[in-house]
Structure 1
């Protein structure tokens, strides 16, 4: 992970980390990130970095500003959440993190279900933003990604029932999505938290070439 960004309304979080592994040349070319002598550069300019623990503790503090929000991201079930779960486990922060949120929603399958009649060829976030909002944005920058996702989510306006069908946790993210239309038993307050969402994006050093189709 090289960048962690989150946004909710007018609040935002944007942190940089020195990746543990060697950055792929293709990823560096697309994202503009490079590591030289243990310093991180973005488009040849040095940026301040945090340790993984510092970044996750800051992320938890950001989430705690809200009342158990939903964590929303595009294609996070396959990529971002597994990386996040491993990092939280490694640093013994998972319980504290999960106590701060209500659950997770992946906007990739959500958009596929909501827009299945539109005949879209691609459900990549950049394409959805262009098709629904009529704008292009600076993709592969995590902060710009979450800002664009927030605008996209506002346009999609999924119902509570639809959100429930796509709701998952770090424990269930590897399971096949359940076709349920009711709120999970014992989680009645979730409906109140659907209005509070935190959009996240973690830029992984080798993720720049992955397709969100």
Structure 2
């Protein structure tokens, strides 16, 4: 079992940080740190982040998203085994902030439904996870979430997680699993809430109709580009691009916030 932490430290505005769980693709960087499982159990990754805190945190300067009193905005996307928020498994967890990326694949505990396979491109065969026929190296969900928390801590202050339809889906699934694994208190220390970009889009760009606010339509309309709609990292990336394209005010962002306690009950 391995975790990779890699960073490029030439200039802050060119800095690219990737927190990648075992086996996922890595881009080439001048420095790569490899932490094996036994050392990871002693949390050396957290020590690495702490030792590089000033340099890693400087990547926040490349984020063009508005800042608020609650800190940075990190864009999140989940691929899951279904749409029932009380039972579905997370199979890909991705987050993007500026050029900083987190990505992890998780083997589901339940059999993949056929409709979920068609939507996500993920399949399970002989105890292995595949994406469009390509085998994916996976980590247990508890390890993926612990590594995700380290990624969020690296921003040096509370962050807000932005997701499309966060209130009805991503926030509920993520907090359910964090609570089940007794990680929710740690999560609440680094995340002040969620920004739901679905009502934000409706607020900023009214009149698009009932189906006009799904992510695919918004990307086509405002970014005029295509993307891999079966990849959580690609979705998080285009969501950040949309957000930057809209350039919402702090007031607009605050109006689209979802609180961790009251709004998810």
Question: TM-score, normalization: structure 2?
Answer: 0.63
Is the counterpart of residue 42 in structure 1 residue 131 in structure 2?
Answer: yes
What secondary structure sits across from 2:167 in the alignment? Answer: helix
Q: For the residues of structure 2 that align with 1:121 and 1:38, how far apart are their CA atoms?
A: 37
Give the whole-Å Cα distance in 1 for the aligned partners of 2:247 and 2:262: 24
Q: 1:25 to 1:92 in 2, by over 3 A?
A: same
Match of 1:110 in 2: 200
1:196 maps to what in 2? none
- Per-residue CA distance 1:123-156 (angstroms, 9 max, x = gap): 0011101101111211121011001101001011
- 2:183 is the alignment partner of 1:93: yes
Could you tell me which residue of structure 2 aligns to residue 134 of structure 1? 224
Distance in 2 (alpha carbons) for counterparts of 1:143 and 1:134: 19
CA distance in 2 between partners of 1:155 and 1:144 (Å): 16
Structure 2: state its 5+ residue gaps.
1-89
Structure-2 residue corresponding to 1:159: 249
1:1-213 counterparts in 2 under 5 A?
1-66=90-155, 67-117=157-207, 121-174=211-264
Deviates more, 1:57-66 or 1:18-27: 18-27
Considering fraction of residues, name the structure with more strand: 2
Query: How far did residue 59 of structure 1 move?
Result: 0.8
Which 4+ stretches in 1 moved above 3 angstroms? Answer: 117-121
- For the structure 1 residues 65 and 36, does the alpha-carbon distance in structure 2 shift closer, same or farther, using more than 3 Å as the test? same
CA RMSD of aligned residues (A): 1.5
**Structure 1 unaligned spans of 5+:** 176-213
- Kindly tell me the number of residue pairs found equivalent between the two proteins: 175
